[in-house]
Structure 1
């Protein structure tokens, strides 16, 4: 039985179960009579007999799209949920090639091979892939059976399920794991650099231990600012205070005197923007400690701000360090984190100017985003 176009037009949603499984009352009664006639003496355990509307509501609740596929002609029949998932107009049938045109190019060959293999394979099969709907990516899980016993009139049955949310969560977890690994490596490199700084100025083991402990404690405070703030933990500090805490581990004499100078306007930053700024400054300072001005005893760092229309412009100026050269890998993991924070959370842009004697980093951010 084919899906009725009126079902979709009347907005009844996922009503495709009736088109694939014949559970009409007459059919159910016939099956009951047949079962009783086969073995009256056998008492089977009482089971709940699902009604058609109950099954339809259950399928609609989870957003499952039903489909059938003729393995000889390649024609698919889908319920209204299937057409909605694929972003296609209603039709009584659709070909596999029409669906393939909407599959992400990177997944298309793999999905075609998986579906074609079901003609000869035995048992369950499943595959996840991406489709493009209105220039947006959706993840789809396809599930079905490839056993000959489940083929009726050379037609196979299965479901499509939108798993975009789950896939995005998996990608976020992978990114978080990579970010944490990257950050731990940076912290170890910074700790080594701070130990060297402390050893140059200390006159005794006790003094070195005291200075190193203070710097590592400040580094811990900066690292705590880099992680996202939990709701209800209050608002972030002023911009100048935030920069001071983040940069204090790298300055022999503190953030407001010595070789690191911070001169920015007095303005508050919100929780979300504080997290982004902390990540950006932490990354810039880490690179400076390893390769730039802060790796040299005579190197200096100046951080200043200016207003340009609706934007706040932060300038990061490194001088007196080793000879400055543009790195070969400007798209490393740290750089990607910085760019994502600047463009995504701050709606801004970042520019690097490598010259022979200094490095100038210009960070532009929308003032309204800084307050959020």
Structure 2
């Protein structure tokens, strides 16, 4: 039985329902990071993730009343590491022996991470589809203002959509195609060209950046960030108004690159209407995990100011 449980990665536990004492096998000790032979639920509670504590307490208190098998998934803290544990057993005192109930712990961290990754992808896809409708509507309005005939509008809108497609290729590149470093100014021009009044940078969008190379590993993440900022601007910010403007600047300070996105002339944004949904979370997570940098949002009366900080070596990688 020991060989079988080890092969399956199963950790065993027993629980005295009168004394609340929990006895763990060696694998369970390693999973929880405890080194004493017997513990109580209170001892283990100190290692349960704070956000899951109340739920786990209530679930374990109810296990004796549960008919048949039960399964409780929750997070525990193992030092600075977060692990997912699945506790499984049988309720309604089934299989109780001398006031001892038995069950197992499984480390389900990899499964939970895979589920979170799938959920992230599904949310990102839904977010992008929703944004595409908003962008198409906004670009149609820009084309209508900057053209005099339906033929001109059709040509202008087609060019803008083609530019948007090129920007999307930067956000989601084709894996089979070779990649190379890009000049920061050229990268920004491709990403933002579709949103300017004349379908090219210069009228409502200004870019003032030094000659700086963005490596292939960083270009996709930077493109995603800029694409998200432009989408938010055309939906809520300065690019949603004819009078609005966007300026993108860049400074290099020692070993750090600071890119600043400044919006002016747009509608006032109340605190309750500041973008804070999945897109903002995606941008913050991407900058932190993939660029090793930081991104901050400030909301002065003139319009949003976004500051992206990343190491020069990391940006060029």
TM class by smaller structure? 0.7 to 0.9
RMSD: 2.6
- State the Cα deviation string for residues 266-305 of structure 1 (Å, max 9, x = none): 3332344222211221122122223333233344333222
State the SS of the aligned residue for 2:179: coil
Alignment pair present for 1:198 and 2:143:
yes
For residues 357 and 112 of structure 1, what CA distance do their matches in structure 2 show?
Answer: 49
- State the Cα deviation string for residues 47-96 of structure 1 (Å, max 9, x = none): xxxxxxxxx1x4323321111222333222221110000010142x2223
State the SS of the aligned residue for 1:103: coil
- Structure 1 residues 281 and 74 mapped into 2: Cα distance closer, same or farther (>3 Å)? same
Alignment pair present for 1:61 and 2:7:
yes
- Displacement of 1:326 in angstroms is 5.8
Instruction: Note the 1:9-88 alignment, pairs <5 A.
Output: 17-18=1-2, 56=3, 58-88=4-34
Name 1:289's counterpart in structure 2: 234
Q: Which of the numbers 110, 115, 124 marks the counterpart of 1:179?
A: 124
- Displacement of 1:322 in angstroms is 3.3
Please, which moves more after superposition, 240-249 or 325-334? 325-334
Name 1:267's counterpart in structure 2: 212
For structure 2, the residue ranges without an aligned partner over 5 or more in a row are: none
- Structure 1 residues 363 and 115 mapped into 2: Cα distance closer, same or farther (>3 Å)? closer
- Structure 1 residues 109 and 199 mapped into 2: Cα distance closer, same or farther (>3 Å)? closer
- State the Cα deviation string for residues 194-249 of structure 1 (Å, max 9, x = none): 11111122232222112111111211222232237648742353322221111011
- Structure 1 residues 160 and 351 mapped into 2: Cα distance closer, same or farther (>3 Å)? closer
For residues 166 and 73 of structure 1, what CA distance do their matches in structure 2 show?
Answer: 34
For residues 164 and 152 of structure 1, what CA distance do their matches in structure 2 show?
Answer: 31
Name 1:235's counterpart in structure 2: 180
User: Is the CA contact 1:294–1:300 (under 8 Å) kept in the aligned structure 2?
Assistant: yes
- State the Cα deviation string for residues 319-355 of structure 1 (Å, max 9, x = none): 4x23555643446113333322333332333344544
- Work out the number of aligned pairs and report it: 316
- Structure 1 residues 284 and 110 mapped into 2: Cα distance closer, same or farther (>3 Å)? closer
User: Is the CA contact 2:144–2:153 (under 8 Å) kept in the aligned structure 1?
Assistant: yes
Which has the higher Rg, Structure 1 or Structure 2? 1
Alignment TM-score, normalising by the size of structure 2: 0.87
Name 1:155's counterpart in structure 2: 100
- Displacement of 1:165 in angstroms is 1.8
